[in-house]
Amino acid sequence: MFAHIRQKLLFNTVVKYGKQKKYSISAVSEVSKSEAKDVEPIYPSIEDISFKAKCKRKRQAWHEKIKSLETVEEKLFKINMPRYYGWKSLILKEHIIPYNSLSHAQYFTRTHIIKEFDLPTYYNTIISTEQLDRIVQSIKSDIEDNIIFEYCIRRREHEIKVNKLPLDENIKALDRKINMEEIISKALIHRINRTMLIHLTSENPHLLHTEVDFEPRLETSWFMGGLNPPNFVRNFRKSVKFLKEFVDDSVNLPVQYFGHPVIHLRHKHPLRQIIPLSDCKNSTLEVPTFKLNPKVLTYTLEKKHLTNIPGFWPGDENEFGLLSYHNCTYLQTRPEKYNDTSVALTIQAILASYSWLLSQACYQGFSTFNDITYPLTTQTIITNGQWWSFFVYQLNTTLVHSEYADENSKRNICWITEPIKLFDKIENDKVYGLNEEVLKNLIKFYMNIPEERVGVNLKPYLGKSVKVIADIEHDERRNWLEKQYKHLVANRPRHRRISEIYDWQKIYIIRHKTRPMDKKREPWQFGIKMYKRTLDDHQPVYIPRHLRENPKKRNRGRWAKTYYP
């Protein structure tokens, strides 16, 4: 009874707002009800609260933070933020190629190899046959002179590295042979590149604006997913009750690649795509799987800060690759029973091409977590001076981590040629059997004209006015970020090394617990996981009182500011 009277009094109550007219709450409620009938209700999305869903949302939030940063260097900084001592990464080196590792290289780069041993048909339209033959005849004599000079005339005794170790004579002879072949191949590459530029620049203006780098620094990193968990991860998951059902779930592995190119040619515009981005989603483009631990191929893991350096620093105008030369003198040290020269060259080309394009994509604002929005193409040549192999690689995706390792519909494409002899032999300062096919492929590579991508935003994830650290107007922040970024990519070890657990500590303290009275001295004894220390977990630089802005206030401004992303 009382509730009914109270509700009736409430709806008849007059509400006044200053000098406004009188409105009743009952009339307002009737209008709101009529409007509510026309509007569809919006309910918040129901989130999956399972353990795997929470982990996925956490990863995606980290990826979005990287994507939202304005500058190239800050994005690379953010990837290294979770690890003060660096990520425990798989180390790939250009001239160290294990046996039977082609499927590993393809799976880790999501690369499909075109089975026909030939360049793409696109290269047949670059230049006419008559013009190609004319250029070959004009440069043929100069190429022969370069070969004769490097192999017969030039003195090289002062360039040979002398091994002072007391080794076997056969080993010394092999080292001397490999060293000589490497010196000759590099010098011949330099001469042939100079000859091609001299003859082709007059008819190809884009070569005038091409930047040439000699032995540039090539480093690339990415996260690889879809791998079987190692034993220590499986054992840890078994020991935790709610993780037992995820014992066999795949894990991610950071990868760091170190390349050793002889020459890089760069341009301010990218090369044209070979195939459209939509065609790379074809399910018939097969990519082999490699779920095993890479240690089975004799690869090693080391703690490294992940770096992406395509041979130049961010902000360079010529930031797209045109052509890269690599040598393959390491093949002399491979056992003859392997008999896999062409396979080793293919692995070297895949890793070198993918790494160079990925590092270029990172300078455009993309990363291993934020996929590219347009394809990138490069041309790769691998030679020892006499044998030449040509490769064309198109980067269509950079997502190979987590579930993208198997579910990503995009594939990267690689076209390869069989090794071709440039010449048969040299006798009496004369070249015999000069192969014009090698010269034709070289000419096609140099005459492949880069083009500006009209209507395509090449840097969609970078700031409008601030794209690199040098664009930052704040002096203190710009200088701090520049200094810390260069220190990070130098990959020097920390002055205080990570605390080590010695064998006797594992046996007597951790496993068998036979020394309960020992004083706890190490961080791991207090439950501190030093390898998970973040990059910004350190004491800032101390500022002396006479250098502070307000020296009279004792505790204000004692520590220098940091500008971590």
The pLDDT of residue 500 is: 86
Q: Which residues lie below 8 Å from residue 157, measured CB to CB, with a gap of 6+? A: none
Q: Which residues lie below 8 Å from residue 269, measured CB to CB, with a gap of 6+? A: 206, 320, 450, 451, 452, 453
In 211-255, which ranges are continuous DSSP H helix?
231-239
The pLDDT of residue 2 is: 40
Q: Which residue type sits at 468?
A: V
Q: Give dist(CA 131, CA 77) in Å, integer.
A: 49
pLDDT in tens, the chain (565 residues): 444 444 444 444 444 444 444 444 554 455 556 665 667 888 888 888 888 899 999 999 999 999 999 999 999 999 999 999 999 999 999 999 999 999 999 999 999 999 888 999 999 999 999 999 999 999 999 999 999 998 888 777 666 665 655 555 666 676 777 788 888 899 999 999 999 999 999 999 999 999 999 999 999 999 999 999 999 899 999 998 888 899 999 999 999 999 999 999 999 999 999 999 889 998 889 999 999 999 999 999 999 999 999 999 999 999 999 999 999 988 988 888 898 899 999 999 999 999 999 999 999 999 999 999 999 999 999 999 999 999 999 999 999 998 899 889 999 999 999 999 999 988 888 899 999 999 999 999 999 999 999 889 999 999 999 999 999 999 999 999 999 999 999 998 888 888 889 999 999 999 999 999 999 988 889 988 888 899 999 999 999 988 888 887 777 888 999 999 9
Find, among 506, 533, 64, 79, the residue nearest to 305 by Cα: 79
Find, among 46, 66, 48, 68, the residue nearest to 56 by Cα: 48
The pLDDT of residue 10 is: 42
Instruction: State both tokens at 513.
Output: 């617990």
Q: Which residues lie below 8 Å from residue 341, measured CB to CB, with a gap of 6+? A: 331, 334, 419
**Residue 511, SS3?**
helix
The pLDDT of residue 47 is: 85
The pLDDT of residue 41 is: 80
Q: Give dist(CA 273, CA 421) in Å, integer.
A: 29
Q: Are 304 and 442 in contact (CB under 8 A)?
A: no
Q: Are 418 and 131 in contact (CB under 8 A)?
A: no
The pLDDT of residue 169 is: 63
Number of other CB atoms surrounding residue 75 within 10 Å: 25
Q: Are 510 and 527 in contact (CB under 8 A)?
A: no
The pLDDT of residue 530 is: 87
- Angle formed by the axes of helices 129-148 and 436-446, to 10°? 110
Element (H, E) at 131: helix 129-148
The pLDDT of residue 343 is: 94
Instruction: Enter the DSSP assignment of 524.
Output: G
The pLDDT of residue 172 is: 63
DSSP 422-490: S-SEE-SS-EE---HHHHHHHHHHHT------TT--S-TTS-SS--SGGG---HHHHHHHHHHHHHHHH
In 329-392, which ranges are continuous DSSP H helix?
341-363
- Angle formed by the axes of helices 475-490 and 72-80, to 10°? 50
Query: What does the buried/exposed string (b/e) look like for 256-288 if buried means 16 or more CB atoms within 10 Å of the residue's CB?
Result: bbbbebbbbbbbebbbebbeeeeebeeeebebe
Say how many Å lie between the first and final Cα of the chain, rounded: 64
